Amino acid sequence: MRQTHDKNAIAIAEKESLGLLIRGADELRSVLRVSESGFNFMSRAHNLRGRDHYLYAILDQIEQVMMALNLSQDWFEDPPTDPPTDDIGRRLLRNSFSVVEREQFLHIRRLTEILVDLINFSQTNSNVHYDHYLLYKELAEHQRRKLDFDRYFNCDNLNTVSAIDLTKRSIGEAEKKLQLADCWYLDSRNRKPRGNSQLASFKVCFDNALPYATKAERLVLGLYYGQAYREPSQSIHLNIGGLRS
């Protein structure tokens, strides 16, 4: 009876925590000047998206984590009371835990990326920097697509070439209102105007964020890059022959 009561209490607490995430996201959305239809319409707008659009997208990620936790609750509601002793049972149990671990590490890694970016944006908290950041992320996607066409088909995709040109022109317009030296998301070794820079690696952004992080944020991020990002990545990617988590 005591065990059943404890399990019910835990289940209620978990549901309340998940509901808190939704309510918190809704409360934050209420102060953003973005609606769902406006968000979808502006997703590819240049020089117009700004901070509200970026934060709306971040809140999407928070809600997706909540949904994933809700779906994975079944794995933890009834822990095995009699662990299997045969080879097949032990193997299936080990792989079941690996599936859950992999999914959770995926969300941990995404949330770590979000927190690092938000900490860094605290130093460049202006609409033009959010626009510039989003434009560079979009440009990187177009450039990777262009490289794929060059490598695998030995040709150019005219739509991709046109998109790169448009995005670079939009980046140039944004840079009239900011200093490249402040753009922490660009590789500091070779910052060039009008879309000719490279995005900084996540490790660089992580190291840049640490001096600005609060004690609580440092605790969430972890003590170093490996703990915060490399170890979760090992559980997400194929890791045959690598170190186990």
Q: Please tell me the total number of residues recorded for the chain in this structure.
A: 245
Q: Give me the pLDDT at residue 2, please.
A: 47
Q: In which domain, by residue range, is 167 found?
A: 2-236
Residue 87 in any domain: the answer is yes
Residue 125 in any domain: the answer is yes
Residue 244 in any domain: the answer is no
- Name the one residue in this structure whose structure tokens are 């944020």: 217
Q: Give me the pLDDT at residue 54, please.
A: 96
DSSP character string of 140-168 = HHHHHHHHHHHHHHSS--HHHHHHHHHHH
3-state SS, residue 195 = coil
DSSP character string of 225-244 = HIIIIIHHHHHHS--TTS--
Q: Give me the pLDDT at residue 91, please.
A: 93
CA angle at residue 18 from 13 to 19, to 5 degrees? 95
Local confidence pLDDT in tens for the 245 residues of the chain: 445 555 555 555 566 666 777 788 888 888 998 999 999 888 888 999 999 999 999 999 988 888 887 777 766 666 667 888 899 999 998 888 888 888 888 888 999 999 999 999 999 999 999 999 999 999 999 999 999 999 999 999 999 999 999 999 999 999 999 999 999 999 999 899 999 999 999 999 999 999 999 999 999 998 888 888 888 888 888 878 777 76
- Give me 42's structure tokens: 């502006």
Residue 218 in any domain: the answer is yes
Residue 245 in any domain: the answer is no
Residue 112 in any domain: the answer is yes
Q: Give me the pLDDT at residue 81, please.
A: 73
**In the chain, how many domains are there?**
1
